[in-house]
Amino acid sequence: MASRFFRWLFNLLFLLLTRRTITGQENLPENGPYILTTNHLSYFDTPLIFGVMGNENVIGWAAERYEHHWFFGPIIRSIGGIFIQRGEVDRHALREAVQALKAGKVFAVAPEGTRSKTQSLQAGKTGVAFLVHHTGVPVVPVAITGTEQMADSLRHLRRQRVTIQFGEAYLLPPLDRNNRNRALETNTDEIMCRIAGLLPEAYRGVYRNHPRLHEFLPLPKPVSSSR
């Protein structure tokens, strides 16, 4: 009930306060388990995605600093959020995420681990690749733009234009047992390049020149010559 209420509330607030464009929802599997991976621009990203998703089984990680927060703590707990220690390998949070996925949940996560201060992609962490290794679930990339300007727009009583684009689900290859760490990094690059491929060039950050990214981008249209 709490999950349903907050999803309805967040969806209503963003409907009133923003001008949303949502594309690619047909790419979402009908049911879990799967992992939803998104870029992270602002505090508004999480409630935005949570409100848009039609699946009541969506959960994710939340920074441990919110666990005892008087306002955010109860909300996160009521919707099944998993608190995670930032800046370290939190094995307990990883195990809880694996268990949630094995139970059929949809796990939404920003592989960068924190909000981008440059408003473009930062290097991804290997946590998502680790989850896929232990569950074998598909991954769905999501690209968000516009939320980095929402606070300023709200102060000026403007409805900010926000876009959410869902990409096609895909599977990651199994890890090479002979070089597990390198395989985790390679799969993490794959995850991040799939997100970058949905973003405008200015948002692609450290992945803008990655060779794998260019395999997802549309080929440039040939220049027609006039006689």
For residue 35 the two structure tokens come to 């992992």
Largest CA distance in the chain: 71
Mean pLDDT of the chain: 89
16 exposure class (CB count in 10 Å sphere: 0-12, 13-18, 19+): exposed
Which domains are present in the chain? 2-214 (3.40.1130.10)
pLDDT at residue number 218 = 73
pLDDT at 108 over 60: yes
pLDDT at residue number 55 = 64
**What mean pLDDT do residues 159-178 have?**
94
Classify the phi-psi angles of 84: left when phi > 0, otherwise alpha if psi is within -120 to 50, otherwise beta: beta
pLDDT at 223 over 70: no
For residue 3 the two structure tokens come to 């999950």
pLDDT at residue number 66 = 77
How do residues 73-98 score in pLDDT, each as one tens digit? 888 887 778 888 876 777 888 999 99
Supply the DSSP symbol for 141: E
How do residues 141-162 score in pLDDT, each as one tens digit? 999 999 999 999 999 999 999 9
Say how far apart CA 52 and CA 164 lie, in whole Å.
Answer: 9
**What mean pLDDT do residues 57-71 have?**
82
Say how far apart CA 208 and CA 78 lie, in whole Å.
Answer: 38
pLDDT at 59 over 90: no
**What mean pLDDT do residues 202-211 have?**
95
pTM value is 0.90
**What mean pLDDT do residues 107-123 have?**
93
For residue 181 the two structure tokens come to 């760490």
Q: How many CB atoms lie within 10 A of CB 4?
A: 10
**What mean pLDDT do residues 51-77 have?**
80
**What mean pLDDT do residues 38-64 have?**
86
Nearest residue to 3 via CA among 49, 46, 58, 48: 58
